[in-house]
Each structure stands twice: as C-alpha cells, then as structure tokens.
Amino acid sequence: MENDVPIIMLVEDNESDAELFRWVLQQTLPQASFLWFRDGDEVLNYFYQKEDFPSLAETPLPSFIFLDRKLLRIHASELLKRIKQDERIKPVPVFLWISKQSEEAGQIEEEQGISGYLLKPNNIAQFKQDMQDFFAQHLDHKKYKGILH
C-alpha cells in the first residue's frame, strides 16, 4: 500500500519525550501521520497483527522508524535485529533517537542496519532545526513534494 503522506513511527517509553517529538514533528511535517509505541512489544504486535492492530496489508509500513536506545521489555538492539530480519519491514530506515551519540553504541547499531541518529533536544529551538534538517536530508522530496515546513 502506497503512503500519500509520510508515516513516522516513534518507539519511546517516555511519554514527555514522545509528546515533544510529536509536537515538533507536527511543526515540521504537519501532514505526516504519527505512530507512537511505548516499547518493542507494541511494535512487534503492530507489525505481526497481534492484539488490536490491523494487518500490514491494510496498513502501510512507516516511512521512518525512530527508536529510543533504552527501551523497556525488548531492548532496542533486539527490536532492530528483528525488524531487519523481516523482508517486509527491512527496507524501512531506522534511526536511533538518543540523548548523546556514543561511538561504541554506534558501532553496534551500524552492524545491525541502523540508518543514523537524531539527537534528543537540549532545547526546543535546536530540536526543531535538527528535525527540519533531518527531513530535508532524508525525506523523498519527489514523493512528498512541498510538505516540509
């Protein structure tokens, strides 16, 4: 199923961080669809049609997945590994949403197929700029022409 608007998935267990991400995303890409999951179990339930989630045949894959490195239940590296083992989900770029970039952590995720990083904000103005820069670089501008603010 083709996405008419970008679908942004955030996997973040901190509600305040998730709300900030959603708010800044709405300022940057107002037409984007936003999916928030608190942990890896919820993501796997979504991808594998467990519990109350519709099947992937009915729901398009996200355009991007942003993954908090310090998740409860299923660790981010385990979730990333499972995403990248599934041929349907593997093409979706996964970015870590992290407090600070760690060289050691980066090496682990690079090997598992992480596409890059987006740093959690120290201030909202900087985070808006970082998100604007991120989507200017990574969004398919031919597919989603004119939606970046």
d(CA 126, CA 36): 22
Instruction: Determine the structural domain holding residue 128 and report its residue range.
Output: 7-138
Question: In a 3-state reduction of DSSP, which class is residue 74?
Answer: coil
Q: Give me the pLDDT at residue 140, please.
A: 80
> pLDDT for 26-37, tens place per residue?
999 999 999 999
Q: Is residue 58 part of a domain?
A: yes
Low-confidence ranges of the chain (pLDDT < 50): 1, 103-104
pLDDT at 2: 56
In the chain, helix, strand, coil percent, each to 5?
40, 15, 45
pLDDT given for residue 58 in this prediction: 63
- Amino acid found at 76: A
Tell me the longest C-alpha to C-alpha distance in the chain: 39
Residue 143 within a domain: no
The answer as to whether 15 is a domain residue is yes
Q: How many domains does the chain have?
A: 1
Task: Look up the CATH number of the domain holding residue 73.
Answer: 3.40.50.2300
Decide if 149 is inside a domain: no
Q: Residue 18 domain-assigned?
A: yes
Nearest to 39 by CA among 66, 84, 83, 73: 73
